[in-house]
Amino acid sequence: MRILGLSFDYHDAAAALVVDGVPVAAAQEERFTRVKHDRRLPESAARWCLARANLDAGDLDAIVFYEKPFRKLTRILAGSIATFPRSAAMFRRAAGAWLDERLWVGPRIERALGVPPSKILFCEHHLSHAASAFFASPFDEAAVLVVDGVGEWATASLGRGRRAEGGGWELSLDAEQRYPHSLGLLYSAFTAYLGFEVNEGEYKVMGLAPYGRPRFADRVRAMLAPFGDGSFRLDLDWFAFHRDPARAFAARFEREFGPARAPGAGDPAEDARFCDVAASVQLVCEELVLAMARQAARRAGSKNLCLAGGVALNATANARLLREGGFERIWIQPAAGDAGGALGAALYAAHALGRPPRWEMTRADLGPEHSTAEAADALRRAGLAFEEMRGEDELCSRAAGLLAEGKTLGWHQGRSEWGPRALGQRSILADPRPAEMKRTLNEKIKFRELFRPFAPSAVEESFGELFDAGSPVPDAYRFMLAVAPVREAARARLGAAAHVDGSARAQLVERGRLPLYHRLISRFGDLTGTAAVLNTSFNLKGEPIVETPEDAIATFAASGLDALALGPLLVARRPSGKTEARRRPWAASETPSDGWAW
């Protein structure tokens, strides 16, 4: 059975193709269109998925959209009714968007891909998330927790996955917390207050939090009434996201926490108040995630947990779950945000319509790959001199040598990653030892805020020596989904990778799963005694991660990167010492996402 999952119309549009229960291709639309967080119907991603499997749209058994649009509309109408007459502007914006395109999801898919309406299905938003976690996990049975901003009505859901009595597998969500009472929207309101873009800057709040003390935590807790079972009600006097299209938080916010930070204002890490606010909301977020996860475990009676939804990308909260949640094993979907809904919708339909075998997601490289010939052509067109390595050994030795000399390297290998993290296929790599490498990368390569940390990738043989992540190392570290304390003895060796609180969002690199990347890091370890590299996504601030060799070359040219590896082709030095003028910034999406989930 061939099923295509699609997510679009909110943010991070994506397509994923599942054949007989196994995902064979998955990618976000932004990688093709170069529009960050592109939310449009993912025609390019869908067509690439089909081409990858040598299929036409007519060969598909079903196309599944990742949510129920009409159910979502009822929430928007109910919200307008409940907040009348203060929601006129919100209603105008939302109704305009719905009349223009969102009511017509089915016909738009039909038109774009040429499939009959009978083949178009709709999976609930949180079921899509839940399926993206459970049906990709190694578990026979597990509690399931989904936490995000909002789907149709649900903002958090509890459920379970297990073997069905009559054969096959069964996934159900048994309880949900509903809009507007949302942990994701609470966090997003603080993201907006701290001057970051909602649905983009949440991880910046998480990165800012360790600079502060959670001295406002009680005030954040006062914004909600907890029921003692992980669920809560928000006190809407603090918020405006449910009635105002341009503002997430109400005037009371600024009365309690002081003036909001203007978007683009100076370094927030230099203002203790903003750091403390970030630390406070982060702490409360962790407490709520822990409480919800414990409730999920109680209801399902399981020691395994599957986690998805945008909040599941909060690596600090995930680390607390791993440490304090009481679970034997936790599995988190690497594309836990809405893009991952495309994969989940397809997996859910595959298991609802048939009985495919279970599939475990052990690697995240489900995206496109590009041949050596394509890369060579692109390099020649760009006028860049390159050498072709005679195998992985030579490539890794040369690349590790460059890193050990303090050079920064663009690393473009194999199929691109599914999800927001670069895991060694589309990465910028550097030496993690000197502390000043963080500043170099932020200022000269990525052009981004100085306070933001970088993550290290370490091989399995030395992971435990560098990080205190427990043993065996939890699955979340394979996909860079949790932070871990850097061991005291290793701090000096990871000067650029340890955050201000001594933690790092470390990636575990196993020989059996990522052999080329493992070999590179091992070779770097042979040269330096530290078998870890600094790994950040191969993009500039505000741009999608590079996809093609052309994208990689353009980013190489526009940044201060020292070297570039495209498959076996190595550009060992820049043609001149100068950085070319930056390209048109892609930061501003042509069709920005709607902050408050209409």
Only segment of 350-358, 451-459, 503-511, 576-584 that touches other proteins (CB under 8 A): 350-358
Among 92, 213, 298, 511, binds other proteins (CB under 8 A): 92
What is the nearest approach in angstroms of other proteins to the Cβ of residue 178? 6
* CB proximity list for 298: less than 8 A, separation 6 or greater: none
What is the nearest approach in angstroms of other proteins to the Cβ of residue 175? 4
Q: Kindly tell me which of 228 and 264 has the beta carbon lying closer to other proteins.
A: 228
Site for other proteins in 228-247 (CB under 8 A): 229-233, 236, 242
Q: Kindly tell me which of 119 and 421 has the beta carbon lying closer to other proteins.
A: 119
Q: What x-and-dash track marks residues 105-124 binding other proteins by CB under 8 A? A: xx--------------xxxx
Question: Per residue in 523-540, is it b (16+ CB within 10 Å) or e — as a string?
Answer: bbbebbebbbbbbbbbbb
* CB proximity list for 324: less than 8 A, separation 6 or greater: 290
Bridge partners of 143, per DSSP, are: 160, 305
Residue 59 binds to other proteins (criterion: CB under 8 A): no
Q: Kindly tell me which of 20 and 84 has the beta carbon lying closer to other proteins.
A: 84
Residue 280 binds to other proteins (criterion: CB under 8 A): no
Q: Kindly tell me which of 350 and 514 has the beta carbon lying closer to other proteins.
A: 350
Q: Kindly tell me which of 228 and 391 has the beta carbon lying closer to other proteins.
A: 228
Phi, psi of 17 (to 5 degrees): -110, 125
Describe the strand order of the beta sheet including 569-571 as a list of residue ranges: 387-388, 569-571, 563-566, 409-412, 426-430, 532-537, 455-459, 507-509
Residue 128 binds to other proteins (criterion: CB under 8 A): no
Only segment of 50-58, 204-212, 222-230, 383-391 that touches other proteins (CB under 8 A): 222-230
The angle formed by the CA atoms of residues 184, 187 and 418, to the nearest 5 degrees, is: 55
Question: Peptide bond preceding 549: is omega within 30 degrees of 0, i.e. cis?
Answer: no
How far is 405 from 396, CA to CA, in rounded Å? 14
Please report which residue ranges of 357-444 form alpha helices under DSSP H: 372-381, 392-404, 436-440
Residue 410 has which token pair? 């663009």
Among 20, 22, 51, 84, binds other proteins (CB under 8 A): 84
How far is 228 from 344, CA to CA, in rounded Å? 30
Residue 37 annotated to the active site: no
Question: SS3 letters for 248-291?
Answer: CECHHHHHHHCCCCCCCCCCHHHCHHHHHHHHHHHHHHHHHHHH
Site for other proteins in 144-173 (CB under 8 A): 157-158, 172-173
Among 227, 246, 492, 585, binds other proteins (CB under 8 A): 227
Q: What x-and-dash track marks residues 286-305 binding other proteins by CB under 8 A? A: ---------x----------
Among 58, 96, 529, 575, binds other proteins (CB under 8 A): 96
Place of tokens 């191969």: 538
How far is 355 from 170, CA to CA, in rounded Å? 10
Among 78, 492, 587, 588, binds other proteins (CB under 8 A): 78
What is the nearest approach in angstroms of other proteins to the Cβ of residue 247? 18
Residue 66 binds to other proteins (criterion: CB under 8 A): no
Only segment of 225-233, 400-408, 455-463, 541-549 that touches other proteins (CB under 8 A): 225-233
Taking a C-beta distance cutoff of 8 angstroms, is the pair 595, 248 a contact? yes
The angle formed by the CA atoms of residues 301, 292 and 157, to the nearest 5 degrees, is: 85
Residue 272 binds to other proteins (criterion: CB under 8 A): no
Q: Which helix (H) or strand (E) holds 557?
A: helix 549-558
Q: Kindly tell me which of 295 and 314 has the beta carbon lying closer to other proteins.
A: 295
Among 11, 36, 52, 68, binds other proteins (CB under 8 A): 68
Residue 222 binds to other proteins (criterion: CB under 8 A): no
What is the nearest approach in angstroms of other proteins to the Cβ of residue 263? 25
Q: Kindly tell me which of 74 and 371 has the beta carbon lying closer to other proteins.
A: 74
Residue 352 binds to other proteins (criterion: CB under 8 A): yes
What distance lies between CA 566 and its chain's CA centroid? 24
Only segment of 60-68, 197-205, 455-463, 530-538 that touches other proteins (CB under 8 A): 60-68
Of the candidates 353, 350, 314, which has an alpha carbon nearest to the alpha carbon of residue 332? 314
Q: Kindly tell me which of 176 and 365 has the beta carbon lying closer to other proteins.
A: 176
What is the nearest approach in angstroms of other proteins to the Cβ of residue 200? 26
Residue 467 has which token pair? 């990080």
State the Cα torsion 234-239-244-247 to the nearest 10°: -140
Q: Kindly tell me which of 159 and 595 has the beta carbon lying closer to other proteins.
A: 159
What is the nearest approach in angstroms of other proteins to the Cβ of residue 105? 7
Amino acid at 144: V
What is the nearest approach in angstroms of other proteins to the Cβ of residue 81? 5
Site for other proteins in 170-199 (CB under 8 A): 172-181
How far is 451 from 211, CA to CA, in rounded Å? 9
Q: Kindly tell me which of 69 and 401 has the beta carbon lying closer to other proteins.
A: 69
Of 11, 242, 499, 518, the catalytic one is: 11
How far is 441 from 446, CA to CA, in rounded Å? 6
DSSP state of 574: -
Q: Which residues bind other proteins (CB under 8 A)?
A: 64-65, 68-71, 73-74, 77-85, 87-88, 91-92, 95-96, 105-106, 121-124, 157-158, 172-181, 227, 229-233, 236, 242, 295, 348-349, 351-353
Q: Which residues are catalytic?
A: 11
